[in-house]
Amino acid sequence: MRFLIRVLINAVALGLTFWLVDLCWDGQLLPLLIIALIFGFVNALIRPLVTILTCPLVILTLGLFLVVINGLMLWVTIWLSRAIGIGFTCMPEFFWNLIIGAIVLSIISGVATALIKDDRENR
């Protein structure tokens, strides 16, 4: 059940991010769930590897490079979604759109996660 709630939170956060920041989303809601699954996969498998490999940059910039990593993970998600043919009409033209999108996505996800209690918090 928690997995489904996490996917729905990611889908809502991604949908709002794609709508607020021009990231070439076609506006369809059903593929958004698949995009949320892809985003979860990218964040679970690729992001830790990239974070470990760029650890000196993260330390040197006092953690600000994590925003760039989040933007890259958003780009990988869009690229994979386009590769399987769902959800996007084009690739974002500017890297700054991805960085702003990563910041907006972090804010929306953080607020949504804070509003929904987890069963494990009571233990």
What is the mean pLDDT, run by run of 10 residues, along the chain of 123 residues? 81 86 80 89 93 95 92 90 82 82 88 74 56
CA distance 49 to 44: 9
In a domain? residue 119: no
In this prediction, residue 3 carries a pLDDT of 78
In a domain? residue 14: yes
In a domain? residue 34: yes
In this prediction, residue 119 carries a pLDDT of 62
Q: Which residue segment(s) compose the domain that 23 sits in?
A: 2-113
In this prediction, residue 109 carries a pLDDT of 83
In a domain? residue 121: no
In a domain? residue 120: no
Residue 25 backbone dihedrals phi, psi, to 5 degrees: -80, 140
In this prediction, residue 65 carries a pLDDT of 93
Per the structure, the count of domains in the chain is 1
In a domain? residue 122: no
In a domain? residue 60: yes
Q: Is-contact 26 88, C-beta < 8 A?
A: yes
